[in-house]
Structure 1
Amino acid sequence: MIELTRLNGGHLTVNCDLIKHVEAAPDTVLTLITGEKLVVLEPCSEIAERTLTYRARVLRAAWPEAATSLGAKAAHDASAFLRGIKHEVSED
């Protein structure tokens, strides 16, 4: 679950596994797999970063012996992914 901020400043917690896609239009709009749409203050890149951080935390808890061997590769992959997200957002 990741914490986000509604446009009115209120906080909400979203199950990031339910996010179908995120778009900047110009506000950030999350579309959930249920079809529900949420408008939040955080940019797309921040949502991607929070989602990656959350999933890494879940994987470390579920599979602690793999954390050290996956640490460097995961950090590299996450960095490359976030660079790609930031590039896509800057083109829009």
Structure 2
Amino acid sequence: MVFLTRFNGTTFYLNITHIESVESTPDTVITLTSGKKYIVKEAAEEIAARITSFYQAVPMASTVSRSTSESDE
């Protein structure tokens, strides 16, 4: 999750696994896979850096390599 700020000053955490896109239009608009949109104060570059930082800090099951052998096939 990333911590974000709406233009009215309220803050919230957003589950990054639901983000489809982040655009600067010039306001930063986050579109979720559900189609819901959030307009936030943070720059798109800052959000991208926070997402990268999150994924670097949290071990993901998809990054665990599986050993393969002929017996698995």
Q: Which residue of 1 aligns with 2:48?
A: 48
Question: What is the TM-score when the length of structure 2 is the normalising length?
Answer: 0.79
**Of Structure 1 and Structure 2, which has the larger fraction of its residues in strand?**
2
Q: Which segments of 5 or more consecutive residues in structure 1 lack a partner in the other structure?
A: 63-92
* 1:18 lines up with 2:38 in the alignment: no
> In the aligned structure 1, how far is the partner of 2:50 from the partner of 2:43?
11
User: How far apart, in 1, do the equivalents of 2:48 and 2:59 lie?
Assistant: 16
User: For structure 2, which runs of at least 5 residues remain unmatched after alignment?
Assistant: 62-73
* Superposition pairs of residues 1-92 of structure 1, within 5 angstroms: 1-59=1-59
Percent identity among equivalent residues? 43
Q: Distance in 1 between matches of 2:55 and 2:15?
A: 11
Which aligned segments of 4 or more residues in structure 1 are displaced greater than 3 angstroms?
Answer: none
- 1:31-89 CA distance string (max 9 Å, x none): 000000000000000000000111111128x7xxxxxxxxxxxxxxxxxxxxxxxxxxx
Cα RMSD of the aligned pairs, angstroms, is: 1.4
Highest CA radius of gyration, 1 or 2?
2
Alignment size in residue pairs:
61
Which structure has greater helix proportion? 1
Separation of aligned partners in 2, 1:17 and 1:55? 10
